[in-house]
Amino acid sequence: MKFFIDTADLAEIREAHSMGILDGVTTNPSLCAKIGVKDFEGHIAKICEIVDGDVSAEVVSTDYAGMMAEGRRLAAIAPNVVVKVPLIKEGIKAIKTFTEEGIKTNCTLCFSSPQALIAAKAGATYISPFIGRLDDISTDGMRLIAEIVEIYGNYGFATEVLAASIRHPLHVVEAAKLGADVATMPLSVIEALLKHPLTDIGLDKFLKDWAKLQAGG
């Protein structure tokens, strides 16, 4: 499973990258607004200097021509830019053309398996089902991951399932068990994945015993 960090914050991206387990980055307009990004294209360029893997940058146009113009500009920033496109009719048309032009796409805001089927037929590189936002409205987000993995498997679609809107480590574990290709998550979830209280207790005891041994006691 590939790990992407879901943030536009350069310090967080550097921190996750320093762990050596980061495969890419996803951003969205809300994440950019959160840290007050003014020069969006310049900011994406900075992220691409840190990370070799795929970096999703989202278009904000909602019409085909606007999405194409924005997406082509974004894709020209660096070879690892993935154009993130909302799952609406104009977006599907844009994904089809981006794919024909060899531009990678991340089809975002997916909340149902028929939507995911359409995105795969258009040739999206990634489909982003939003697990957490479904859970938030008492709908099983993980069931959507299972359905998409099954459907894509049935037909051999190359579109990768990118589990998004992840809130906690169990989302990652469950998505991994179902065979999602990628999980994108905040730095807090990446860090939570490696924590276990017994590890901390065990290390503390090892170090105390070692110190006692050195003191001759």
The footprint of ligand E4P (CB under 6 A) covers 6, 26, 28, 108, 128, 130, 132-133, 164-165, 184
Which CB sits closer to ligand E4P, 123 or 141? 141
Q: Which residue is nearest to ligand E4P (CB)?
A: 165
Least distance (Å) from ligand E4P to the CB of residue 30?
Answer: 6
Q: Is 84 a catalytic residue?
A: yes
Which CB sits closer to ligand E4P, 193 or 207? 193
- Whether the Cβ atoms of residue 29 and residue 2 lie closer than 8 Å to each other: no
The whole-angstrom distance between residue 13's C-alpha and the CA centroid of its chain comes to 12
Name the catalytic one among 2, 34, 38, 84: 84
Pair of tokens at residue 63: 């019409």
Pair of tokens at residue 196: 């276990």
Least distance (Å) from ligand E4P to the CB of residue 29?
Answer: 9
Which CB sits closer to ligand E4P, 108 or 125? 108
**Positive or negative: CA dihedral 46, 30, 128, 187:** positive
What b-and-e string marks burial along 189-207, b requiring 16 or more CB atoms within 10 Å of the CB? bbeebeeeeeeeeeeeeee
Least distance (Å) from ligand E4P to the CB of residue 41?
Answer: 18
CA gap 166, 186 in Å, rounded? 8
Residues tagged active-site: 84
